[in-house]
Amino acid sequence: MNITLTIVAQALTFAILIWFTAKFVWPPLLAAIEARQKLIADGLADAERAKHDLEMAAKRSADLLREAKEKAGEIVASGEKRASEIIEQAKSQAKVEGERIIAGARAEVDQEVFRAKEQLRNQVSAIALAGAGKILGREIDAKAHNDLLDKLAAEL
Amino acid sequence: MSTEEHALTASSYIEHHLSFNVKQVADGAFWSVNFDTLIVSVLLGIVSFGLLWLVVRSATAGVPNKRQAFVELLVGFIDDQVKGIFHGDRKPFVAPLALTVFVWVLVMNAMDFLPIDIMAWVYHHVFGQEKFRAVPTSDINTTFALALSVWFLMIFFSIKVKGFGGWIHEFFCAPFGSNPLVWPANFLFNLIEYVSKPLSHSLRLFGNMYAGEIIFLLLGMWAATGLAGTIFGALLGAGWAIFHILIVVLQAFIFMMLTIVYIAMAHESH
């Protein structure tokens, strides 16, 4: 249990080991650890930023969607308005057309009635003439009684 | 089990295992070296710090491999300890010092796990050394060398931080005050502190490791008394070795913590 020169030698060894650790072991490892810490911190910051970006994008897409919906609603409303306008227009056109057709038909009917009356008048005068001939027992001279017949026809 | 079967007594067994491999350098009691202590501690230093260096040399900031992760755990652990105690720029010196102390003391303590009698046979028949003690920290020269180195560093940093005048001033004016009446008390107090620090620092480690070795020797002696002794000696030896894992790490840790505390105290002004 003597204190000998060993103590000096051990102190020297210790000093060399301290120097070696401080110069070659500690700095590179700590540099690597610090670099990794920075890497991780940067990664976390990036993730945070990406999250923020995502939130912004979601907000913007929601805005766009709402805008699009509004626009679509507007378009539908204007379409409906246009459609009712067209229907109204068609209705009024159809009314006009109908009235025109009805007027035409009425005129035609009047004409037909007039023509039928004319025909009927002629036939009635012929019947009256034939009836009168039979009653009188002889031929009636149509020429001699023409003015009378005309008068009768005008009365019918 | 011992190499000297014919002259085996309890005292000769223990004496044999506790004798250093002394190489006389010059005349005088001081001028000799414990060859075993030196060679083991230097080899352990080269191997452990060489391995650390190899791992660290290829250290990347990316995904670390298992070896690098292990070294990072060690370094991170020590860096945390230093950070908690020492409030200065620890990177250039104090943290590497703590790492050196911890690793070196740990591996030197760990030599205690080697089975003494088998190793004695190896030393004798493979290396031709009659006497060889493998645990450098159970040599008081080692622990005193470490403690005194830390002591000198403590004084160096004390003077570096406070200046020589500040250091002397602190010697006389702390901890009781700057009244000239308490100067002697302050001086005495500081003197005792300066003496007790390296003593307790080194003797704590030395005592623990030395006692551990003695226990192993006693169990080895018991193992030589017969079959029952062998069984109990082996069982208790295993138990003590397992318990010793704790002591080895704990003592290395305590030695490192005290080193940091002393260096940190040297940086603080009163």
Cα gap B83→B156, rounded to integer Å: 21
* Cβ-count burial A124-156 (b if 16+ within 10 Å, e if not): ebeeebeeeeeeeeeebeeeeeeeebeebeeee
pLDDT tens digits for range B55-93: 988 888 888 888 888 998 999 999 999 999 998 888 889
Q: Catalytic site residue B158?
A: no
**CB-closest option in B33, B56, B146 to A25:** B56
**CB-closest option in A1, A13, A25 to B42:** A13
In A, minimum Cα distance to B35 occurs at A6
Say if residue B1's pLDDT is above 60: no
CA angle B156, B162, B167 (to 5 degrees): 70
Query: In degrees rounded to 5, what are phi and psi of residue B226?
Result: 145, -175
Cα gap B223→B236, rounded to integer Å: 10
Report residue B8's pLDDT band, with 50, 70 and 90 as the boundaries.
Answer: low
Answer whether the bond into residue B175 is a cis peptide, omega within 30°: yes
Q: What is the pLDDT of residue B29?
A: 79
What does A99-147 look like in DSSP terms, one character per residue? HHHHHHHHHHHHHHHHHHHHHHHHHHHHHHHHHHHHHHTS---TTTTHH
Say if residue B171's pLDDT is above 90: no
Of A39-53, B3-17, B88-102, B151-165, which gets the smallest average pLDDT?
A: B3-17
pLDDT tens digits for range A54-100: 999 999 999 999 999 999 999 999 999 999 999 999 999 999 999 99
Report residue B150's pLDDT band, with 50, 70 and 90 as the boundaries.
Answer: very high
Q: Catalytic site residue B208?
A: yes
Over range A118-135, report the average pLDDT. Answer: 83
- Which residues are within 8 A (CB) of A97 and not within 5 positions of it... i.e. 6 or more apart? none
In A, minimum Cα distance to B52 occurs at A25
Q: B20: distance to nearest CA of chain A, Å?
A: 9
What amino acid is encoded at B183 in this protein? W
Question: Are B131 and B19 in contact, with CB atoms under 8 Å apart?
Answer: yes
Q: In which element (H, E) is residue B211 found?
A: helix B183-223
Question: What's B24's DSSP letter?
Answer: E
Q: Is the pTM of this model over 0.80?
A: no
Beta partners for B33?
A: B23
Q: Enter the ipTM.
A: 0.82
Cβ–Cβ gap A33/B76 under 8 Å = yes
